[in-house]
Amino acid sequence: MRSRLIVLVTVAALAAAVTLLGGAFRGSHSPAAQAASPAGAARALTDAGLAVGDTAALVSQLQDRLRADPRDARGYALLGLAYQQRARETGDPTYYPRSERALRRALRLAPADAVSVGGLGSLALSRHRFREALALGRRALRFAPGSARTYGVIGDSLVELGRYDEAFRAFDTMAQLRPSLAAYARVSYARELLGRPQDAIAAMRLAVEAAANQPEATAWARVQLGKLYWSTGQLGPAAREYRSALAAFPGYAYAFDALAQVEAARGHTRRAIGLETRAVDAIPLPQFVGLLGDLYGAHGQRAQARRQYALIGVIQRLLVANGVRTDLETALFDVDHGIRLRHAVALARAARADRPSIDGDDVLAWALARNGRCGEAAAYSRRALRLGTQDALKLFHRGMIERCLGNRPAGDAFLRRALTLNPHFSVLWSPVARRALG
């Protein structure tokens, strides 16, 4: 089946001329865990014949339309999607409850509307409510069996629930139904999960081509392509993609964030802080704020780092207040920064129960290890690597766990694999890995 994923997408690419909301602390490539994707709500709005260049103006227009006709189900559905687009553009989670109210109003007026149900599915993904998203995706599919976007919602949910074979089948179907930026991005991620980075890069290049003449979509796809180069230690190609993203869409916060990591890897910490500050000023996402704190710490500015870390807590509370589940991301941040380590284990365990993916396994493994419970940690770390994913951070965690168990040769082998794959995988932990191998 996994080889079929590659074949089907190749066929789709020949047949055609040629994402995804959510995300908090963790810099994942998962479509379900990314706030940056221009697909999802924007795609649905475009399909409805509405321009998405100025979403704030679009929201205002839709509100005027609904004041004139309060029984316009389609208008409420589009307003709900526009609110999700605003959340993605601004990082403001208060748009999520507004989106939910609009979409549920649409469903009261038109109970079998696939766009509204699918919109609620996308919203559930944004809030990291993956079982709910899966149920809504399947419900939307009953109303519109040929909807490629709906297969994306279903596949994204299944990935986060650790049901990878089912997820990949959903992505196959999506690519067959509608070869597109959204489909290629998901296929790229599937290949990355399976430990095939070069194949992932090839699929993301198709996504870049599919985004032609769409500035923000092009910027998003180029940043994702750059991250694939980055994950395999290719700083030059990664930086070129990030700069191309900024050329396509000036001021793009996700490109500033990614370039900051490149500059830090090159030893230009002050320049990295400047770039990350621009990302935070544009969209104060927790992962941006967290990296800025780490960069300040690496530059010896401890007070500045502490201020950024304190801001993480404020953002987390805002996310939770607006229905976003942040247990996994919060646990990882706390474990990495030595905050309430015992509590972090409980948080990571609850998060993994709700989100039994390789990321859930990895965060729980790391939380256990940082509490000295390395025997328990090893089992979860093995599960985190079960797909063959080439992820330097997961390899680092495994290496430290093996060393904790007294298996130094095995531990050192994993640390070398992490550093060989990406010598600069983490501002915090790459130096630790190098010192351990000293």
b/e burial code for range 149-186 (CB count within 10 A of at least 16 → b) = bbbbbbbbbbbbbbbbebbbbbbbbbbbbbbbbbbbbb
Distance CA 205, CA 197 (A): 12
In contact, 4 and 176? CB cutoff 8 Å = no
CATH number of 326-437: 1.25.40.10
* CB-CB neighbours of 425 under 10 Å: 23
Termini Cα distance of the chain: 43
Q: Where do the domains of the chain lie?
A: 2-250, 326-437
Q: Render pLDDT for 377-422 as a digit per residue (tens, 0 to 9).
A: 999 999 999 999 999 999 999 999 999 999 999 999 999 999 999 9
CA angle 176, 21, 357 (to 5 degrees): 80
Residue that is written with structure tokens 């980055």 in the block? 230
Instruction: Give CB contacts under 8 A, 24+ apart, made by 338-343.
Output: 338/370, 341/367, 341/370, 341/371, 342/371
Q: What pLDDT score does 13 carry? A: 31
CB 263 within 8 A of CB 271: yes
Residue 379 tokens read as: 């089992």
Q: What is the pLDDT of residue 91?
A: 86
Q: Decide: pTM greater than 0.85.
A: yes
Question: How many helices, marked H, and strands, marked E, lie in the chain?
Answer: 24, 0
Residues 333-387 pLDDT 10s: 999 999 999 999 999 999 999 999 999 999 999 999 999 999 999 999 999 999 9
Q: What is the DSSP string of 132-191?
A: HHHHHHHHHHHH-TT-HHHHHHHHHHHHHTT-HHHHHHHHHHHHHH--SHHHHHHHHHHH
Degrees, nearest 5: CA angle 135-9-183: 45
Residue 124: CB atoms within 10 A of its CB come to 26
Equal fold, 2-250 vs 326-437: yes
Sign of the dihedral defined by the CA atoms of residues 206, 212, 216, 222, in that order: positive
Looking at domain 2-250, its CATH class is mainly alpha
Q: Distance (Å, rounded) from C-alpha 278 to C-alpha 260?
A: 10
Contact 98, 83 (CB under 8 A): yes
Pick the more confident residue, 89 or 100: 100
Q: How far is CA 427 from the centre of its chain?
A: 19
Q: How far is CA 41 from the centre of its chain?
A: 16
Tens of pLDDT, residue by residue over 173-183, are 999 999 999 99
Q: Is the pLDDT assigned to residue 19 strictly greater than 80?
A: no
pLDDT at 35: 37
Residue 89, pLDDT score: 86
Of 171, 233, 243, nearest to 207 (Cα)?
Answer: 171
The pLDDT, as a whole number, for residue 291 is 97
Q: Are 150 and 137 a contacting pair, CB within 8 Å?
A: yes
Q: Which helix (H) or strand (E) holds 62?
A: helix 55-68
Read off the tokens for 191. 């290949």
Map residue 335 onto helix, strand or coil: helix
